[in-house]
Structure 1
Amino acid sequence: MMMMMMMILLLTESVLVSYQSNSTVQCELMGNRKSVRVRAGESLYFPCPNAVCYEDTEGTSYDWLKNLSRTNQIERIGTEESERVHYHQSALYILWLTPDDTGRYITRWWYEKDKCDEYETDIVVYEEFHTDLLYFTPPEEKASAIYCPVCEKQQAAFIWYKNFSLIPNQESKNVLRIRNSSKESKGIYTCVCTWEHNGLKHNTSGHRRLIIKDQSANNPPVFQLPVNNSIVITDVGTELILVCSVVFVCDGCPVRWERNETTLSEEDGYKQENRIKDGSVQLFLNITKVSELDLLSEFRCTTEDSYRVMFVSITLKSRASMLAVILACICTFLLVLVLSVIVKWFSLDLVLFLREISIKFNRKEDGKLYDAYVIYQRNNSDETTSKTVSDFVNGSLLTVLESYCGFKLFIHGRDDLPGEDCMNLIETKIQLSRRLIIILTPGTSSISPEAYDLQVGLHQALVQGETGVILIQLGEMQDYTHLPLGLQHLLCKNNPLLWRDGQSSPTSKFWKRVRYRMPVASSRQRSSEKRSLECPSLPV
C-alpha cells in the first residue's frame, strides 16, 4: 500500500514538473496589478488573484516569484512548508510578516504544457497602523453590513473591532451586521481572522472606514486636485503625469480626463489609471510625450452626478528659455553699469543742481556774514609766485565765486578798513565765515606775523571744529613738509584742489569741486550793472 502511494506521488510530481516554466515560453500578463496592504507581525494567506486559477488546480502547476526592488531581480519562492515564505499550489503563505516582505509578487499559472498566465500583486507591509491600510467602502445613507476584506477563501474565526475597541456579542463570521445604522455608526471597523497552518495559529487583519452620508444632503463631488485654472510647467517631448483627486458622495460617478472637451485615448499616447483610496478617486493621466499641441490645449478633469457635470481645468506651459533669462540678466547688468557710470560722471552736477533747488525751498540763516574767508601768502619773496597768487585771488576766485555764483568772500586788503585792529578783525571775520579757503603755494613757509589769520583759522578748524576748510594748491609741490603741522594734518584728511591755468570757466571740473565744498550761498550780490551771465545750473 505504501509503495503504491509513493508511486502515485512520484507520477504526480513528474506531471507537475512537466508543466514548469520554460525559458522559451512567454507568459501572458493578465489584468491590472493588484495591491494588498498588511500589518507586520501578522501572517498572510494569499490565493491566486484569478478565481479560475485558484480553483482549477487539477492538471496544472504554479510558480510563485518575488521581484526584488533593490536589485530588480526575480527570486523564486519555494514550496517547503517549513519555510516562512512558501506556496502550496495556488496559495501563497507569508508567515509573521516583516517590512522586508514588501515587494511585487508574481503568480504564473501553467494550465497547459506551453501556455501560462501571469498575475502581479504588490504586497505592502506596514509596521504600524496607517490610513493606507483602509479598504475603500463607498459612503452610504444606510449601512446594513460590513464585509471583512481578508480571509475570503479560508476557514477562520473572526472577531470585530470598531475604532480599535472590541465589539461585544458578535458572531464569528466574515460579515458584521449593523442594525439601525446612523451617524454614530461611522468609524473604522477592523476584522481579525484567526486561521491555522501546520498546527500553528495565525492572525490577519483588515480595516474599513464606514462613512454614513446625510440622507437629505445633495452634496456634489469635491475636487481636491488639481486647482482649477492652474498652470503646469513642462517641456516639449518629456513625460508628464497629471493627477485628479475627487471625493464622492455618490456611487459610480464617472471621472475622466479630457483635452479641449475631447476624450483621450491610449492610442494617442494618453493613458488613464484610477485608484480608489479612503473615500476618494484618484485619476492619473500619463502623457507619454508632451507635444506642442498639448501646450496650446486645455486639459479638464471631469466628473458628474445625477444633477450636473463638473470639471476643473489646467493648462501646460513650456519653461522659459535659459537664453532669454541670460540675455535679460546681461541687459540688466549693462543697464546698471551704464547708469552707475552716468551717476559717477555727473554726480557733482547732480548735487549742485539739487542744491540750487533746495535753496529756493529750504533757506535758513545761521548768523554768518561771509561764505568764506580767504587765507593766502600776501608777502612772497618770489615775484612769479606773488603774481600767480594775486592773479588767482583777484581774478578767477573773485570772478567765479562772487560775480557768477553769488558767494560773499572776505579778502584782506579789499574788505578791511585802514586803522582797524588787525588781530581783532581777523578773529571776528573768521568767526563770521562759514568756510576757510586756504591758498597753498610752493613758497608757503613757516607761519609769520602776517600769517596770523592762518593760525586763527587752523585753531578754529582743528580745535573748535566749527569751520570747514577748502585747500587750493597753485602749482606742483614735491611735499608738504615745509608747511605748518596743523596744515599738514588738514592735508592728510582732505586732498587739496589743484589749480591749473585754463580753468577759469565756471563749468570746469575744478570750480565744480570748489562749489561742492562751499556752503549754500546766502548772498546773491550782483554788480550794479545786471549781468546776463550767472553761475550756470549744470545739467544732470
Structure 2
Amino acid sequence: DGCIDWSVDLKTYRVLAGEPLRVKCALFYSYIRTNYSVAQNAKLRLIWYRNKGDSEEPIIFSGHRLSKEGDSIWFRSAEMEDNGFYTCVLRNSTYCMKVSMSLTVEESEEGLCFSSRIRYQERAEITKSKMITCPDIDDYLAPYKQPIMTWYKECQRKEWRSSIIINTTSLWIPEVQKDDGGNYTCELKYGSRVVRRTTELKVTALLTTRPPKVLFPSERQATAIDVQLGMRLILDCKAFFGYSGDSRPIIYWMKGDKFVEELEGHIRESEVRVVREFLGEKEVELSLIFDAVDEMDMGNYTCNVENHIGRGSGSAILQKRDMYRLELVGGLGAIMLLLGIFTAIYKCYNVEIMLCYRRHFGSDEADDDTKEYDAYLSYTKVDLESVEREMSEEELFALEILPDVLEKHYGYKLFIPHRDLIPSSTYIEDLARSVEQSRRLIIVLTPEFVARRGWSIFQFEPRLHSMLVTGEIKVIMIECSDLRNVINYQEVEDLKHTIRVLSLIKWHGPKSNQLKSKFWKQVRYEMPAKKKEAVSRRQVMDSGEQGLFGDLQAVPTVAMTATSASLAPAHLEIPDYNEPSHLEMRHFCRNYEYELPTTAIATLSSRHMYCNLPMPLLNGRLTQNNIEKTKKDIHLNSPFVQLSGQELSSDIW
C-alpha cells in the first residue's frame, strides 16, 4: 500500500528452455537515478515477488536453480514453468517503488534450434551492407576472456562465402544478396551450458525514391467502362508500391471531391489486398463495389495512392451501356466459343470425322479414275541366309497383318510385288507400270528394310522418282519402330523431303494391330475413299492376275509340262526344291507357302504356280555344271538379270 507502481516494464525477457537467464530489476535502469549499491547504503531493501493471478508471492531463493545476485535474479536453467511476471520492490519504512518484468520461456521447435516466437528481427536492403550482432549476451560474457561463439544459418554449420566476415559477437555481410535472408543463430558457450540467440534477417528491395504507380485504371487517360443499370459492379484499382519500410500502402477511391464514405450506401470499398509481394515491393488491389448500379452513379471515379515520397492517381468513367451492344457481344462470344469447341473437336477427332463422312456420304474413289489397284505395297522379305527363321514383329506386320487387314477386312485391292508381279517386259518397266496403276504407294519402313535399302528403287529409277516428286501418286510411309539409329536412315529422310504428297504413320507394335486402334484409322484416312467390301484373298489374287498383264487362264498340267520342257535343254533337270539347299527358293507368301513336289511335274494340279526361280534357269542358260551351285550364286552371278530372288518373284509357269 502506498507503493509507487510502474506497472510492467517494456522489456520482455525471452529464453529457450534449458538455457541460463538473468532478470535485472528495471528500477535501477529506467526509473530511478541510482544504482543497487547506493540503495543498499540508503537502507533500502530489494524484494522479489512472482505474480500468481491477482496476488504476488515472495520468491524463496533455493540457490540450486534460482538465486538472487545483487539487483538481479539468475535462472541456472530456465523451465517452462518459469513463464510469468516477476516484480522487484525497493522499499524502507517511508519509501516504496516497484516494477514488473515479463519472462517468456519457449521450447525449440521440432527439428530446429530456435523458437520462431522469440526470434529477433532484422532487415537488410539488397546490395547494401549489413551487420548482424548476437543480441542480449552482455550478461554472459566473462571479463577479459575471449568468448567462444559459433554461428549457424537455419541451424546448420555453413561454409560462408569469402566476403562475409565473422567477428567475436557479430557477422558482417558487405553486399547483401537475396539468398542471404533467413535465420541466423549465434551460440555462446557459458560454463557447462550454451546461450542461443536467433535473428531472422529479411532481405528487402532498396528503399523507394518514387511515388506509387496506379496500374489500373490508367494514369494517363481516363478509362471508359460501360455498365448496365441495375447490375452489380466491382471496379478494381491496382497499384504498385516500392519498398517503404514499415509504412503500409495508402490507397482509396473518390468520386469527384467526395470520399466513398460520403457516397450512397450501395457503394463501398473492399479491404486492401496484396496481390503479390517481392522483397517488400507490393502490388495491391482495392475494389469499389456497387451493389446495383444506378443512373446517379454515372461519372468519374479516381483511385488515389500515396507514400512518403508522393502520390498518384488513375480515373475510370462509368457510362451506360447500350443494350444492343450487350446482345451483340454475347452473340459473337457464343459463336467464337462454339467455333473454338468445334475446332478443338476437329483437331482431336478429324480422322474419325472424315471416316464417318466417307462411310455415310462419300463415293468410291475408284469410280473417278481408270487405275486398277488401291495401293502398291512396297515391302518384300529378302533374307538369303534363312527364310525359315521366325519373323520379327515388324516383318509379320508388313508381310501378313497389313495386307490381310486392308484386303480382307476393308476390301482394298493391293498390288504386292512378290505375289502379283507377272513379267511382261523388263522388271523395272513392270514395276513402274504397277505403281502407275495404283492410287497409293505404301512403303513399310522396318529396320531390316531400311538397312538393305529396299526403298532405293524409288530414289534412283527416274520414272518412279518423278512420280514421287511431281505428286502423281500419294505416298504413305509406315514407320514400324525408331529408325534413327539404323544405317541408311538419313537417306530415307532425304527421300521424304523429295516426295511431294507424303503421309507418315507410326506403327507402335502389336497394340496397333487391333482393328479399333488409331493406327488403322489413320491408314484408312490416307487410303482412297472406298466403300467397305469383304474381298477374299483368292479373289484379290485372281483380279490382280487379270488386271495389269492381260487375261490369264489357268494353266493345265500338260501345258505346263510342255512349256517347261521347251524352256530348258534336254540335258538340264529341274532341281529338287525340297532339298535343304533349295528351301530358300520357294515362293514366299505366308498365305500361299507351298513347294514344288519331288515327283514329276506332270502330277501338278491345274492351277497357277508361282516360284522364285532365277530367270537364267527358266531360259535354259545354265549348264549341267552350274546345277551344283548354291542358290545364292545362281542369283547373284546370273548374267541375265541382277535382281534378288524375291524382287523377281511370281514367274508364271
For the criterion TM > 0.5, the same-fold answer is: no
TM-score interval w.r.t. the shorter chain? 0.3 to 0.5
Output the TM-score relative to the length of structure 2: 0.28
